[in-house]
Amino acid sequence: MAIPEVNKEQPLNLASLTWGDLTWVNIEHPAEQEMAYLAQHYPFHPLDLDDCLSRKQRPKIDQYKDYLFIVFHFPVYNKVTRVSTHGQLAVFVGDKYLITVHEAQLRTLMKLFRDCEVDEEVRQENFSSGSGYLLYRIIDGAVDSYFPVLDKILSLMEEVEDSVFDENVEAAHELAVLRRDIITQRRIIFPMRTLIANLEDKLRRFTKVDISVFFGDLVDHMNKICETLDESKEIIEVYKDTDYLLGTNRINRILRVLTILATIGTVLTAVASFYGMNVPLPGGGAPGSPHAWIILLAAMVAAMAGMILFFHRKRWI
């Protein structure tokens, strides 16, 4: 990737905070101008800078002599499509710097940056233990913010369950939307669990405290999230199968009634067709005589009653 020169007339879309010897540079909505700035001031590989602008990266950790390059994915819920998409966070971790590059979709990161910006005590608390600990605080906030999303999923599943067993509600569409969202979130979260589990050892050299306890708690949270998503997927599959079975049963009941009515109607039509022939028939009577109509009606009622009795004995109705 060829990094262009920084255009000094164009303002950079970045903000930085410094406490002690640690600097946090936050870049929102990155473009080539910001990547050119990073290329000129930090020893980053051009491929890493290229990855910051790409939206097709997988979660990963690239380890170099002086820094780590990490790509995180976090679920971002789309209220229009009602399905989550992935929000990407690229991070450069060095001994005296932490650089975050994202599309301003991770609210917890932006809130932490603002809190550090306006409150000296919050900045000291997060910066004093090194760039690795500061990154932990960013990840921990993002993971904790996901639990309300899980609560929302569980709440929607309870509503879908009621819809599945309500014959007056069509639950298939809601089931399909919720199932698609759960599958999407699993596809985003599961690689993140592996990445976070492998991150602790690589961050040790950039922290001034023992982070094993912190990352142990973080991994526990990720395991709980993944287990909940697994359980939700299994439950939604059961609901899907149940809705299919109940729907099929309702259709069979309707078809059974319609088939019985059609069979009875066929017999009545056959009787009427015989007496509609232009030939003498037993009980037909003279033309214009009301007796023929009464006899024909009685024959039809008798045939219909006999068929209903037969269907009842067969337990078809």
Can you list the domains of the chain with their CATH numbers? 14-248 (3.30.460.20), 276-313 (no CATH)
Q: What is the pLDDT of residue 9?
A: 54
Rounded to an integer, what distance in angstroms lies between the CA atom of residue 197 and that of residue 219?
6
Tokens 């991770």 locate to: 106
Q: How is residue 128 written in tokens?
A: 């004093």
pLDDT for the residue 172: 84
Kindly give the parts of the chain with pLDDT less than 50: 1-4
Q: What pLDDT shows up at residue 1?
A: 45
Q: What is the pTM of this model?
A: 0.78
CA distances from 10 to 29, 37, 178 (A): 15, 12, 44
| CB neighbour list of residue 228: distance below 8 Å, 6 or more residues apart | 150, 153, 154
pLDDT for residue 60: 93
Helix ranges (DSSP H) in 145-211 = 147-164, 172-203
Query: Do 174 and 163 contact (CB within 8 A), yes or no?
Result: yes
Q: Which ranges in the chain belong to alpha helices (H)?
A: 32-41, 46-53, 107-118, 120-127, 131-144, 147-164, 172-203, 212-275, 290-313
In terms of Cα–Cα distance, which of 197, 186, 200 is closest to 220?
197
Q: How far apart are CA 237 and CA 125, in angstroms?
A: 45
What is the model's pLDDT at position 171? 83
